[in-house]
Amino acid sequence: MIVWLLVLLGFGSAATTHTVEIRGMEFHPAVLTVAAGDTVVWVNRDIVPHTATATGRTKWDTGQLTQGQTGRFIAHARGTARYACTLHPTMHGELIITNN
């Protein structure tokens, strides 16, 4: 009974951590679907530094990540969150944030 109540209240859906690799001057995957409350971690595998920086109205930014460094973002608002690398404007990514 208590377990059912917890599930109904949303305590049963644990947040997930997703990883986006930055390698070869691209985000992998470039498009990622996550649930609200999930965490997205970017890890830079390239020699050169990168950022994952929101380009939409909601502002977030991993800051500059050198090789091997990671940055994270907790997805809150539902919708599509587009982002880019501020150092390399040809690099783009997208988070599709769904209901928890």
Partner 1 sequence: MSRSRYQAALTVAALVCATSLHAQNTATAPDLSDPEVAHVAVTANSIDIDMAKFALTRTHNAAVKQFAQTMITDHSAVNAQAAALAQKLGVTPADNAVSQSLLSGAKQARASLEPLRSAAFDRAYLDREVAYHQAVLDAIDKVLVPTTENAELRKLLTDVRPAIATHLEHARQLRGQLGSPSRTSK
Residues that bind partner 1 (CB under 8 A): 24-26, 46-49, 66-67, 86-91
If the CB atoms of residues 37 and 49 are measured against partner 1, the closer one turns out to be 49
If the CB atoms of residues 39 and 64 are measured against partner 1, the closer one turns out to be 64
**Separation of alpha carbons 83 and 97, rounded Å:** 13
CB of 73 to partner 1, least distance (A): 22
If the CB atoms of residues 50 and 81 are measured against partner 1, the closer one turns out to be 50
Secondary structure of the chain: what % helix, strand, coil (to 5)? 5, 45, 50
The number of C-alpha atoms within 13 Å of 9 and in the hemisphere containing its C-beta is 7
